[in-house]
Chains A and B, each alone.
Chain A
Amino acid sequence: MLEIPCPWCGPRNESEFVCAGEADRKRPSDPEAETEEAWADYLFNSTNPKGVVREWWWHVSGCTRWFQIDRDTVTHEITPVEESSK
């Protein structure tokens, strides 16, 4: 059970959150301008690195805020991401 640092509520059990995947996956601003390959890549692919990954987490049971953290997929070490650096 990971402990996730919610920027508003403080550290809480992972079970209060939803992990919403990699934060660098941004919806293209003009989807129709995307090639089929680029669109498929946006829809289906993740980087899934061994090491640090920046993720979206949603504190659904708490303040319902969406926020980012850097999580090491090997050690589970978590570093909060400053709001301004998004």
Chain B
Amino acid sequence: MTRLANGGVIDRQRPLHFTFNGKRYQGYEGDTLASALMANDVLIVGRSFKYHRPRGILTCGPEEPNALVQLVSDGDQPNLRATEVPLREGLEARSVNCWPSAKFDLRAINSFLAPLFPAGFYYKTFMAGRWDFYSRFIRQAAGLGRSPKERDPGRYERVNHHTDVLVVGAGPTGVQAAKVLAESGRDVMVIDMQASPGGHLLFHSCQIDSQPGVEWVSQAAVELRDRKNVTWLQNTTATGYYDHNMVIAVEHEPAESWLRERLWHIRAKKVVIATGAVERPLIFPGNDRPGVMLADAVARYIQRFAAVPGKSVVIYTNNSTAYAHLETFKAAGIEIQGVLDLRESLSETELGLASKSKVPVVVNSRITGVQGRSAVKGVTYQDESGIKTLSCDLVCHSGGWNPLIHLYSHAGGRSRFDQESAAFVPGERAQGAYSIGGANGTFSLGQGLKEASEIANLLFGEKSDDSASSALAVPVTEGEVSYRIDEIWPEKGLKGKAFVDFQNDVTTADISLAVRENFRSIEHVKRYTTAGMAVDQGKIGNPNVIGLVSRELDQEQTSVGTTTFRPPFAPVSFGVIGGNERGLLIIPARTTPMTDWNIANGAAMDEAGANFRRPFFFPRAGESMEDAVAREATAVRTSCGIYDGTPLGTFELHGPDTAELLNRLYTNRFDNLPVGRGRFGLMLREDGRLFDDGVTFRVDETRYLMSCGTGAAGAVYAHIDRLLQTEWIDLKVYLVNVSAAWATMCVCGPMARKVLDKLESDIALDPSFRFLDFRDGTLEGIPVRLARVSYTGELSFEVNVARRSALKLWTILIDAGKEFGITPVGSETSGVLRIEKGFISPGHEGDNITNPFDAGMGWIVDMTKPDFIGKRSLLRDMRLGGERQHVVGLLPDDERAAVADGSALLPAQQELSRSGFQGHVTAACFSPTLKRTIALGLLKDGQSRHGEKVIISGLENSCPATVSAPVFYDPKGERMRG
């Protein structure tokens, strides 16, 4: 076990037990899974994606490409970075992408077949032949992790937050910026990815204002968190920067114990990006072997976790970073075999650090190979005098630093290549995104703090005055090694596999091949080689890919440019995206006052549009759906049915110009509708197609009540409101939605009047109460509006009642109707009754082509009106003429044929002159009244073809049918008017 006896922030009094790939280990409170594995000498943590090479931990942060794990103990979460998983008692994790085990992976055979898997392998190989044949094999091997099988036990929350300034990153520069901004009185929100503030100072020692840097940061953080205008979040990762300065962040393990994660939608006026930088690997053969790690990461494991990944190290670098860590390594008992530096010369500071630590440095040297397959045994390197070897069990390399420009780039900001720091840094700005410190390519702590101190000026153009408080003074730093880098690329045609993108197994050879094959745009190289994709999103590899491409193309890195960074910066769980929108809350379900009664009385429920669910039918014990529908329909036709029509849309229209508005909205006239009467109206869209229909009542001179279809209610409201506010602003009409204020219950059937007669009422139900009249009054003392409206073709009373009294009245009606066999009716039965009557439903017979003439509704279109919505387009239809599809009835020869909605209508055998598809079935059912199958359909030239034969062709069967008029029952409508 390689854990130092002292040091780090781990709590040695609190040991934690965990399991990795089935083996039990022990770590401490404060560990991450990665640091605990390292302290247990677990070298191999996974397999690479394509070649299944053994891989070890490379980094110490969210940029980790290799150590992806499936967290089995907490709801089976795939593809978590071991570097980000806090250790817990009983934690159980597995490697992803290996089978049967990380140590012995059968698919490692891919590694020996490597020449067969160059960039673009899949594109090239599987072009010939059938993809579905190959895909069976490829899919089995594809993907990282395993999709969880069980329901996610985690709970999630999504919240909205507004702030003046959002600071992303609570490292020293972020904290200093927050201090300055909070001082100015603005609302400031600080979010930070790690468990505690400090950024890289959590891992490295550096003095700020004569105290240890991390203490300076935490002291400042404590003071800031107490302020009313500061919101502070740890364990929170900003995953994307969207339009108008909206940043989305995921908070892991919030203080609220019942939550696993919380998603923040943060709307800021300005965003300070202080996310720092991540270390970049060097490119050399074998750079992916377990035991080859980034230099700064090793220093982090030692300082924060007292975990030491090796005993004997070779350091390989092109920059000054590693020199600052020499003492750390030595203090941890690591023997430093030497520093191999790509550069020709060192700075005096670097030389001084090396000699102080008595470490030999070889300049102008490069590693040509790493010995050892599953553990490092040594390296071969070349310097001016030839090829040599060094033995070691750890290789630390550093290729410089990549500023985390992701958020800046999401915002729409550009990047540019900075020669001096050999890095892509923020360029032209978009939105209110401002990068400072490492994220801005400012790798000096002192310089970063200076940027932070001037943040108010940068964001709001405010100069910091001399008398400002100490928060505005630039903190003084000590102990920094100034950053120097010389970017030196490996020679072309490198021997052995040198990885550029670890997670996607992209090597230098793949990049060269892509460019040789003329993929010149960096975006094309990315897609062809897959470099920079998946979980990793190119955080560590991208600049190397760009560098290699620029070298292959012999172009400047700036002109090659970066690929577009897109959200998310780090993977986001589906759970937190969904938030509470699951289970009972998966849709915002709407109910009526009768919903509970309906369910309690055995209704099978069905979607009814606009998030309503409505009874489909009410099956009794032992009844099939067909039985139930037949019983309900028969009740309506012979005695009495009742159904809940509450989901329909209901609008009040007030104003002296309402009649004129209705005249323009509907195809028929409304200006001559008397008070106390209702009229069925048809609404078209401006293109002349069926939109909605319903009955509108005139309540008094200037007040009307309009009803419309459940699903169309929202669209009808928008349609009318738009016309009133943007087109016909001179019309004096107010539109008020009262849909949910009223419940509607339809008592229908020949006994309907008898049922209502049983109730005490001041409304006379005598014959003077005509079809389409309405009357206000009371039923059993409950105020109601009764209307003679029928959607079933039977004598029918629509009872409208305020929601508060609805359920009471409903049960009164059910009780009163018992002796007449009153039967609750579902939407499937209503559908059957409608088809029997041939009532047009815009949702069925309207197919975005159907006009009212096609639907046989010419009787309701008044072309003599000066204008109405859709009239101009109908004129065009009439002028064009030609063959159109009309609504027809269909009577299958087989009276019990099962006909599916949407079945095609084809010409009958003897009609071969007519070719091809001629229309479709819009609605079909077995009519319990007519004791046969009936259907409505749209048929080419149908109105002139009554009596002809067509073939109804469904997916499962087809049958001949006779075309008829689309009304099967009581064509004169005597029953509903009776």
Give chain B nearest CB distance to A18 CB in angstroms: 7
Contact string against B for A residues 48-69, beta-carbon threshold 8 Å, 1 for contact and 0 otherwise: 0000000010101000111000
Given A1-B246, A3-B267, A43-B686, A66-B722 contact (CB < 8 Å):
yes
Count residues of chain A with CB under 8 A from any CB of chain B: 23
Contact string against B for A residues 12-25, beta-carbon threshold 8 Å, 1 for contact and 0 otherwise: 01000010100000
**Least CB separation from A44: chain B residue:** B687
**Least CB separation from B688: chain A residue:** A43
Main DSSP-derived SS at the B contact region: helix
Give chain A nearest CB distance to B399 CB in angstroms: 36
For this complex, into which size category does the number of interface residues on chain B fall?
20 to 34
B726 touches A56 (CB 8 A): yes
A32 touches B243 (CB 8 A): no
B265 touches A1 (CB 8 A): yes
A36 touches B876 (CB 8 A): yes
B458 touches A (CB below 8 Å): no
B896 touches A (CB below 8 Å): no
A80 touches B (CB below 8 Å): no
B81 touches A (CB below 8 Å): no
Given A31-B867, A32-B875, A43-B687, A20-B246 contact (CB < 8 Å):
no
Given A20-B722, A26-B727, A31-B867, A2-B873 contact (CB < 8 Å):
no
Contact of A31 among B412, B718, B725, B871 (CB under 8 A): B871
A43 CA to B869 CA in the complex, in Å?
Answer: 12
Contact string against A for B residues 703-744, beta-carbon threshold 8 Å, 1 for contact and 0 otherwise: 000000000000000100110011100000000000000000
Chain A residues within an 8 Å CB radius of B620: none
A58 touches B722 (CB 8 A): yes
Of listed B243, B244, B727, B876, residue having the most chain A CB within 10 A: B244
B242 touches A (CB below 8 Å): yes
Chain A residues within an 8 Å CB radius of B872: 31-32, 34, 39
Chain B residues within an 8 Å CB radius of A26: 727
A64 CA to B734 CA in the complex, in Å?
Answer: 12
A1 touches B242 (CB 8 A): yes
Chain B residues within an 8 Å CB radius of A1: 242-244, 246, 265
**Least CB separation from A4: chain B residue:** B244
Chain A residues within an 8 Å CB radius of B686: 27, 43
Contact string against A for B residues 830-871, beta-carbon threshold 8 Å, 1 for contact and 0 otherwise: 000000000000000000000000000000000000010001
**Least CB separation from B160: chain A residue:** A13
A26 CA to B727 CA in the complex, in Å?
Answer: 7
A64 touches B721 (CB 8 A): yes
**Least CB separation from A65: chain B residue:** B725
Give chain A nearest CB distance to B5 CB in angstroms: 52
B244 touches A66 (CB 8 A): no
Chain B residues within an 8 Å CB radius of A34: 872
Chain B residues within an 8 Å CB radius of A64: 721
**Least CB separation from B246: chain A residue:** A1
Contact string against A for B residues 101-113, beta-carbon threshold 8 Å, 1 for contact and 0 otherwise: 0000000000000
A76 CA to B596 CA in the complex, in Å?
Answer: 47
Give chain A nearest CB distance to B239 CB in angstroms: 14
Chain A residues within an 8 Å CB radius of B265: 1
A58 CA to B717 CA in the complex, in Å?
Answer: 12
Give chain B nearest CB distance to A45 CB in angstroms: 13
Give chain A nearest CB distance to B862 CB in angstroms: 15
Contact of A76 among B160, B243, B726 (CB under 8 A): B243
B873 touches A43 (CB 8 A): yes
**Least CB separation from B245: chain A residue:** A3
A3 touches B726 (CB 8 A): no
B244 touches A2 (CB 8 A): yes
Chain A residues within an 8 Å CB radius of B721: 58, 64, 66
Give chain B nearest CB distance to A30 CB in angstroms: 8
Give chain A nearest CB distance to B263 CB in angstroms: 13
Given A43-B686, A58-B721, A66-B721, A76-B873 contact (CB < 8 Å):
no
**Least CB separation from B868: chain A residue:** A31
Chain B residues within an 8 Å CB radius of A56: 722, 726
Chain B residues within an 8 Å CB radius of A32: 867, 871-872, 875
A27 touches B727 (CB 8 A): yes
Chain A residues within an 8 Å CB radius of B867: 30-32
B871 touches A2 (CB 8 A): no
B718 touches A60 (CB 8 A): yes
A32 CA to B243 CA in the complex, in Å?
Answer: 43
**Least CB separation from A56: chain B residue:** B726
Interface residues of B (CB under 8 A from A): 160, 242-244, 246, 265, 267, 412, 430, 686-687, 718, 721-722, 725-727, 867, 871-873, 875-876
List 19 additional A-B contacts (Cβ < 8 Å) besides A31-B871, A76-B243: A2-B244, A3-B244, A13-B160, A20-B726, A26-B727, A31-B867, A32-B867, A32-B872, A32-B875, A34-B872, A39-B873, A56-B722, A56-B726, A58-B722, A60-B718, A66-B721, A66-B722, A66-B725, A75-B412
Q: List, sorted by A's number, 19 A–B pairs whose CB atoms are closer than 8 Å.
A: A1-B246, A3-B243, A3-B244, A13-B160, A13-B267, A27-B686, A27-B727, A30-B867, A31-B872, A32-B867, A32-B871, A32-B872, A39-B873, A39-B876, A43-B873, A56-B726, A58-B718, A66-B721, A75-B430
